[in-house]
């Protein structure tokens, strides 16, 4: 089961729909419906932190989930979820270089993890006014995608299956959204060593 933390955002159910189209069983909970420990006790195969209208400090259990996450549990953060990953590991979330609401940009990426098999660059839709500050990216994380002006658009943990994207792969104007989400879903299938 894929657990999706809804940060009170209209894009959440687009993500749910895409994952279900890819064959995932999903469960959606609001970011304030239970504690991080209760959410993790559901024993999901992966967790998705949805976009949302606030900053990571006001995103309910998102920061706690990242900090309490088992080391082998795949996690995907989208937009606000991406920012929460950056902040949870010690990075700063600041005002973006440009406010991007419904605008597209070219995503230049390293073709690993979420981006495996995708062309670089590709066009994706952005809806954000905050971003992870590149100069404060902690040693545990690496940038996996960026825009031409250097804004971080993707990040990954250097050892754990934790990934974030600042853009919206679930937007109809984003190219290769299904493929990117399938790459994450593949990480959740059979890659974890589960206690019996």
Catalytic residue among 82, 128, 170, 175: 170
Q: Find the catalytic residue in 157, 163, 168, 176.
A: 168
Both tokens assigned to 172: 């109809």
170 is catalytic: yes
DSSP letters of 57-106? GGSTTHHHHHHH--TT--EEEETHHHHHHHHHTT--EEEEEEEEEEEEEE
Omega within 30 of 0 (cis) for the link into 114: no
Pairing mode of beta strands 141-146, 152-157: antiparallel
Burial profile 138-171: b = 16 or more Cβ within 10 angstroms, e = fewer = bebbbbbbbbeeebbbbbbbeebbbbbbbbbbbb
The tokens describing 180, both together, are 């990117």
Catalytic option among 79, 82, 109, 175: 79
Q: CA Rg, the chain, in Å?
A: 15
Residues with catalytic function: 79, 168, 170
């Amino acid at each position: 089961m894929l657990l999706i933390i809804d940060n009170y955002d209209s894009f959440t159910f687009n993500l749910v729909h895409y994952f279900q189209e890819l064959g995932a069983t999903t469960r959606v909970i609001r970011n304030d419906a239970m504690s991080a420990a209760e959410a993790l006790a559901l024993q999901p195969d992966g967790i998705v932190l949805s976009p949302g209208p606030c900053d990571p400090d006001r995103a309910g259990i998102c920061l706690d989930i990242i900090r309490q996450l088992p080391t082998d549990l795949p996690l995907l953060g989208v937009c606000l979820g991406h920012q929460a990953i950056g902040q949870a590991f010690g990075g700063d979330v600041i005002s973006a270089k440009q406010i991007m609401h419904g605008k597209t940009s070219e995503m230049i990426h390293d073709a690993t993890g979420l981006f495996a098999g995708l062309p670089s660059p590709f066009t994706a839709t952005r809806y954000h006014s905050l971003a992870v500050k590149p100069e404060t990216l902690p040693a545990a994380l690496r940038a996996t995608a960026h825009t031409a002006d250097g804004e971080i658009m993707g990040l990954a943990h250097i050892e754990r299956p934790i990934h974030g994207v600042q853009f919206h792969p679930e937007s109809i104007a984003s190219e290769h959204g299904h493929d990117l989400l399938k790459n994450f879903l593949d990480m959740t299938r059979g890659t974890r060593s589960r206690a019996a």
